[in-house]
Amino acid sequence: MRIPLSALIGLVMTGLFVLSAVFAPWIAPYPIDAAVGKVWEGPSSQYWLGTDTIGRDILSRLIYGGSVTIFVALSSSLLSFGMGAFFGFLAATRGGWIDTGLSRIVDLMMAVPSLIVALVVLSVLPLNLTVLILVMGVLDSTRVFRLSRAVAADIAVMDYVEAAKLRGEKQGWIIFREILPNAMSPLVAEFGMRFIFAVLFISTLSFLGLGIQPPLSDWGGMVRENKDGLVYGKAAALMPALAIAVLAISVNLVADWILQRTSSLKGGRGG
Amino acid sequence: MADLLTIKNLRIEATAYPPGEAPRHLVLVDGVSVSVQKGRVLGLIGESGAGKSTIGLAALSYGRGGVRLTGGQVLLNGRDIRAEGAAGLRALRGREVTYVAQSAAAAFNPAKRLMAQVIETSLLHKLMTKEQAEVRAIELFAKLGLPNPETFGRRYPHQVSGGQLQRAMTAMALCPKPDLVIFDEPTTALDVTTQIDVLAAIKEAIRDTGVAAIYITHDLAVVAQVADDILVLRHGKAVEYGATDQIISTPVQDYTQALVSVRRIDHAEKSDAAPILRVQGITARYRGTDFDVLQSITVDVAAGQTLAIVGESGSGKSTLARVITGLLPARSGQITFDGRTLSPDLANRSKDDLRQVQMIYQMADTAMNPRQTVGTIIGRPLEFYFGLKGEAKRARVQELLDQIEMGAGFENRYPAELSGGQKQRVCIARALAAKPKLILCDEVTSALDPLVADGILKLLLNLQAQEGVAYVFITHDLATVKAIADKIAVMYRGKVVRYGQKSDVLAPPFDDYTDLLLSSVPEMKTGWLESVLKTRKMESAGN
């Protein structure tokens, strides 16, 4: 199997981000919250990406922040996937009032912009990582629900699913052995997309001050801390912004490649 | 007479891009030469993948996605159209040569009225004014036997039947007064009773307009009715080329002989026996409708014998199968299996009841999970019903594979790696694995090439003799019925109109519908079409 260049770049970059997030304490040249230099120093051999608004090393904070951002985004997308796919498959295979009920609830949730819902909910609830992940996961699960319901509905009408029902198979076999393997590729690609949205979402929330709270830091929060520097021509705020963009593009490249390899939902060995 | 179209040594190649594999280079058509004279009809015949449609489209110098015409000449009116540029081809397509596709329902734009689509090419090529074109279209509608030709064009595609749509497309092809029309399986998707009308209409239109035509089909009996010459194709190569009479009556090549003698399986009917399945007074409708698609159906299936259910699309044949399996619970009536009453709803049936009644589908492609191997597909019923595991299961799977005449080496293959006939055999093995007393076969041979279908029918007959399994065989094809049935039920609009032992049902006197159905099956002889049209009592429902 040949991997196209774009996918290779995506895979390598995503891998680097994940590795640096996991091994942050060993890689980061300075501690996360120590003011080691002067305020807003430019990039130098000592501080590769310069220092921030109170003189902390930006590279170190990026590495530590990345681990928080990626952890929160990954957890919330796993949650949204678990919920969305479970209810989506349930709606598609059961149909009837279960399908109607779930679909209308999702319609209702999607009718209100998720950022607004998140802002309202987070301003009421205590701000900690668990709440953040739960809120983001539930809000995002509506989109996963839509996709998995559509994909599963396509597959659920295939004769082989009917044949399984006629054989007397239980719901579990039908969902996990007949439908899921055929729905995997679009769902995996969608997982990449959801992950990116989660990264953007948590960054937005942190930028607005409702996301990750100090002493923890994440990329959105770093943009917020350093945004005033932009007025004085200091690039500190651009570093975390760039990190968000590069991660989003890298994961996107991988997701694209996975989706491309799926020739069709219904046929073929699926490479 | 000078040739209108001459194809010399045509070679057509393509590159396939299977996902996740290296691209493969294929030769679709190799060294085919053929010619068509003005006012004559050439029939192209062969099984799927023989290159029929590819050659037909080559007469437009067109190759479907990734298909390239790489060698030989396509001479239309004396000039080589392979050498034409894009502008030349544009001027030629839809004007000198036109095309009638297999599925009219998919080929028409659902958002436009029929008239606008029928005259579109004539206007695009500035052959006539809108008024002239509409007059010509109405003439053609009348000639093709469409109802109310004056107003027919005002309808949308969904407002007319499949047979009428196919004739509307023929009108579209004939409207710009082309030199050559390519008919690509124009009647294959139609019911047998509708096919005969469309066939007659096409034949008459060809004769009256003096146009030359290429008629592509996999059904030799159909092409015998319309073609003057026939070219038999196989694997992209010409097998035999000659006048229709010669091909039908004295075929030279083995392959042609096989095609001519297809559908002649003889099956002596067994005498009536105690029923394994009794369907009594079944009435059923689909959820959300207020129309009974089945109206008090009563039939019996004798143990170890075959009940064939025949009828055209929409007659309720497949719905009856769904009611028997419990997928669609009946509103009233009773189903008795092996002496006990079956619950109308699938969910309330015991595992053993489910095991005893198995089903085989028309499209083997969609009846098998593409992500499961043949071993898993056949092995699952063994595991599910009999708890077989490991070596015992593997051995039984192999035994079943032997029974369906496929042998070793298929266990680890995926459905995509099987041919059409092999796929259907695996589906048969899956049904057989449950050791059922009854198998419902829903149009199991309809999607297969004639020779392959014959093989499947023979296999089913052998299995019945070995295992004593009973079949409910649903089909629209009477040749299949003759080959396999012991009893026959003829269905029409949700009712059984004729029912009994095969010899009784197929012997006169007939009711009107059975007569229509029986007389509509094309016979392998020239002149059949005309003789049938003269003696028919009833018009088809699609008209």
In this structure, what CATH number is given to the domain that contains residue A147? 1.10.3720.10
CA–CA dist B445, B451 (Å, integer): 10
- Give me the number of domains chain A comprises: 1
Average pLDDT of the segment spanning A159-173: 91
B487–chain A nearest CA distance, Å:
25
**Residue pairs between chains A and B whose CB atoms are closer than 8 Å:** 70
Q: Is residue A84 part of a domain?
A: yes
Cross-sheet strand order for the sheet of B229-234: B97-100, B180-184, B212-217, B41-45, B229-234, B237-243
pLDDT band at A129 (very low <50, low <70, confident <90, very high): confident
CA–CA dist A57, A66 (Å, integer): 14
pLDDT, tens digit, for every residue of B46-79? 887 788 888 998 888 888 777 888 888 899 988 8
Co-location of B228 and B285 in the same domain: no
B276–chain A nearest CA distance, Å:
19
pLDDT, tens digit, for every residue of B214-237? 999 888 888 888 899 999 999 889
pLDDT band at B543 (very low <50, low <70, confident <90, very high): very low
Domain hosting A195: range is 5-261
Co-location of B176 and B104 in the same domain: yes
What proportion of chain B, given as a percentage, has pLDDT over 90? 43
Name A8's Cβ contacts closer than 8 Å, sequence gap at least 6.
Answer: none
| Neighboring chain B residues of A266 at a CB cutoff of 8 Å | 366, 370
pLDDT, tens digit, for every residue of B132-179? 999 999 999 988 888 889 999 999 988 888 888 888 999 999 999 899
Co-location of B188 and B296 in the same domain: no
pLDDT greater than 90 at residue B517? no
Q: What tokens appear for A44 in the block?
A: 């130098």
- Give me the number of domains chain B comprises: 2
Co-location of B232 and B103 in the same domain: yes
Co-location of B146 and B193 in the same domain: yes
Q: What is the pLDDT at residue B540?
A: 55
0.95 exceeded by the pTM? Answer: no
Bin B51: left if φ > 0, else alpha if -120 < ψ < 50, else beta.
left
Task: Pick the range with the lowest mean pLDDT from A27-41, A228-242, B351-365.
Answer: A27-41
Co-location of B205 and B104 in the same domain: yes
Reply yes or no: is the peptide bond before residue B509 cis, omega within 30 of 0: yes
pLDDT band at B356 (very low <50, low <70, confident <90, very high): very high
Task: Pick the range with the lowest mean pLDDT from A106-115, B223-232, B261-270, B490-499.
Answer: B261-270
Co-location of B252 and B283 in the same domain: no
Co-location of B293 and B217 in the same domain: no
pLDDT band at A160 (very low <50, low <70, confident <90, very high): very high
A139–chain B nearest CA distance, Å:
32
| CB-CB under 8 Å, B371 with A163 | no
Cβ(A155)–Cβ(A183) under 8 Å? Answer: yes
What proportion of chain B, given as a percentage, has pLDDT over 70? 97
Q: Phi/psi at A3 (nearest 5 deg)?
A: -100, 125
Q: Is residue A129 part of a domain?
A: yes
Q: Is residue B190 part of a domain?
A: yes
Cβ(B114)–Cβ(B160) under 8 Å? Answer: yes
Of B367, B371, B372, the CB nearest to A159: B367
Q: Cα B410–B413–B417 angle (5° rounding)?
A: 105
Q: Cα A205–A210–A211 angle (5° rounding)?
A: 60
Q: What is the pLDDT at residue A151?
A: 92
Domain boundary pick from B210, B227, B260: B260
Q: To the nearest whole number, what is the mean pLDDT of chain A? A: 86
Of B19, B21, B359, the CB nearest to A166: B359
pLDDT greater than 50 at residue A268? no
pLDDT greater than 70 at residue B438? yes
Cβ(B256)–Cβ(B234) under 8 Å? Answer: no
Task: Pick the range with the lowest mean pLDDT from B41-50, B96-105, B139-148, B529-538.
Answer: B529-538
The SS3 of residue B30 is: strand
| A237-269 core/surface letters (b: 16 or more CB in 10 A; e: else) | bbbbbebbeebbebbbbbbbbbeebbbebeebb
Co-location of B216 and B336 in the same domain: no
Which residues, listed in sequence order, are joined to residue B301 by a DSSP beta bridge? B277
Domain hosting B293: range is 275-371+436-507
CA–CA dist B13, B117 (Å, integer): 32
* Centroid of chain to Cα B388: 38
Q: Is residue A79 part of a domain?
A: yes
Of B351, B371, B380, the CB nearest to A181: B371
B322–chain A nearest CA distance, Å:
10
Of B19, B381, B384, the CB nearest to A261: B19
| CB-CB under 8 Å, A165 with B370 | no
Q: Is residue B425 part of a domain?
A: no
Co-location of B223 and B292 in the same domain: no
What proportion of chain A, given as a percentage, has pLDDT over 90? 34
Which residues, listed in sequence order, are joined to residue B240 by a DSSP beta bridge? B232
Of A162, A178, A269, the CB nearest to B416: A269
CA–CA dist B499, A128 (Å, integer): 75
Sole residue written with tokens 């060809």: B206
Co-location of B137 and B166 in the same domain: yes
CA–CA dist A136, A115 (Å, integer): 9
Name B353's Cβ contacts closer than 8 Å, sequence gap at least 6.
Answer: B337, B342, B343
pLDDT greater than 90 at residue B378? yes
Q: Is residue A266 part of a domain?
A: no
Largest Cα–Cα distance of chain A, in whole Å?
73
Domain boundary pick from B225, B260, B295: B260
Nearest chain A residue to B348, by CA? A168
Cβ(A23)–Cβ(A11) under 8 Å? Answer: no
| CB-CB under 8 Å, A270 with B19 | yes
Q: What is the pLDDT at residue A233?
A: 77
Nearest chain B residue to A166, by CA? B354
CA–CA dist B109, B138 (Å, integer): 19
Q: What is the pLDDT at residue B20?
A: 58
Alpha-carbon torsion, ordered B461, B465, B468, B471, to 10 deg: 10
pLDDT band at B421 (very low <50, low <70, confident <90, very high): confident
pLDDT, tens digit, for every residue of B80-99? 888 888 898 888 898 899 99
Average pLDDT of the segment spanning B309-332: 89
Q: Is residue B517 part of a domain?
A: no
Sole residue written with tokens 């992940």: A133
Sole residue written with tokens 């049209």: B533
Q: What is the pLDDT at residue B470?
A: 94
Q: Is residue B308 part of a domain?
A: yes
ipTM of the shown complex: 0.78
A155–chain B nearest CA distance, Å:
10
pLDDT, tens digit, for every residue of B484-504? 899 999 999 889 999 999 888
A138–chain B nearest CA distance, Å:
31
Q: Is residue B538 part of a domain?
A: no
Q: What tokens appear for B6 in the block?
A: 């001459």
Q: Is residue B284 part of a domain?
A: yes
| CB-CB under 8 Å, A166 with B325 | yes
* Centroid of chain to Cα B238: 23
Of A1, A168, A178, the CB nearest to B369: A178
Nearest chain B residue to A179, by CA? B369
Q: To the nearest whole number, what is the mean pLDDT of chain B? A: 88
| CB-CB under 8 Å, B369 with A182 | yes
Co-location of B355 and B285 in the same domain: yes
Closest CA to B56 of B65, B72, B37, B43: B43
Average pLDDT of the segment spanning A119-147: 89
Q: Is residue A270 part of a domain?
A: no
| Neighboring chain B residues of A262 at a CB cutoff of 8 Å | 19
Q: Which of B323, B369, B383 to mutate to test the interface with A (most CBs of A within 10 A)?
A: B369
How do B67-76 and B3-16 pair as beta strands? Answer: antiparallel
Q: Is residue A268 part of a domain?
A: no
Q: Is residue B28 part of a domain?
A: no
CATH of the domain at B299: 3.40.50.300
The SS3 of residue B183 is: strand
CA–CA dist A79, A141 (Å, integer): 8
Residues in chain A, how many? 271
Q: What is the pLDDT at residue B68?
A: 85
